[in-house]
Structure 1
């Protein structure tokens, strides 16, 4: 039985639903808070994810960071050497989607020359009548960046686990590849 730990960066503009997503994931869908205050700095959420078809697990240390520019210098230090990352945008806010390029650049700058698995998550799908970002457009952008794409509604508790389970599985697969490569050298 292998238990790994991975540092996960949760990035995106303010008020896109990063904290709600992380909190619902941590509580296994039992805690949806109706009101949130904007995250000032970083909150840490820790959750163990079991890897399907194995006895192994990955403990995700999710750094839920503020989406305000005024915290960006502090984020640089806290974001050092991520193992995985989750970019979050609000499907009703086109600017939050457009900002994902900037957030992706910031995350990748923390691990230059290293492949860091990531996902793009569109939140607030329960507000379908206010959708401003087409899911096909977001999926195409994600694929172009080498990211998996998910949409979720925390309010409806829909698909909130999938992005984190995907990240844990991607991290686990990278670990297994490195172990096999090491065994190949011996």
Structure 2
């Protein structure tokens, strides 16, 4: 049994639901924040995720970061050497989806020349009548960037665990690959 630790960057524009997603994941669906307060720096959420079909687990250190450019300088230091990325946008905001490119570039610039596994999460699917970003469009973009794609409604507690379980599985897979390379060298 192996317990790994992974630094996960939670990125996206303000008000897309990053904090709500992290909080509801940490509390196993027990805590949905009805009152919204803007994240002004970084909140740390830590949770152990079992890796399916193994006895291993990954402890995710989720850095829930402010989406405002104002805090950009501080983020640079905190974002150093991430292991996985959870990119979040609001399905009712074309701008938040468009800005995912910028967030992805910023995260990947922290580890040049290295693959950064990650997921793209379309949040607020409960607002179906206001949806402007279609699933197919977002999925195609995500796949083109090497990301897995998920849709969630934190408010309705739908699918909020899936992105983090995927990240744990991706990180575990990379760990296993590196271990095999190491054993081949010995």
TM-score by length of 2: 0.99
- SS of 1:126's equivalent in the other structure is coil
How far apart, in 1, do the equivalents of 2:118 and 2:53 lie? 22
Alignment match, 1:68: 68
How far apart, in 2, do the equivalents of 1:77 and 1:60 lie? 19
- For 1:62-111, what per-residue CA distance to the aligned partner results, in whole angstroms no more than 9, with x for missing partners? 00000000000100000000000011000000000000000001000001
1:57 aligns with 2:57: yes
Q: How does 1:1-186 map to 2 (within 5 A)?
A: 1-186=1-186
- SS of 1:115's equivalent in the other structure is coil
How far apart, in 1, do the equivalents of 2:157 and 2:34 lie? 13
- SS of 2:7's equivalent in the other structure is strand
Alpha-carbon RMSD across the aligned residues, in angstroms, is: 0.5
How far is 1:55 from its partner?
A: 1.2
- For 1:7-51, what per-residue CA distance to the aligned partner results, in whole angstroms no more than 9, with x for missing partners? 000000000000000000000111111112000010000000001
Moved over 3 A (4+): none
- SS of 1:125's equivalent in the other structure is coil
Unmatched runs of 5 consecutive residues or more in structure 2:
none
How far is 1:53 from its partner?
A: 1.5
Paired positions, count: 186
Unmatched runs of 5 consecutive residues or more in structure 1:
none
How far is 1:114 from its partner?
A: 0.7
- SS of 2:126's equivalent in the other structure is helix
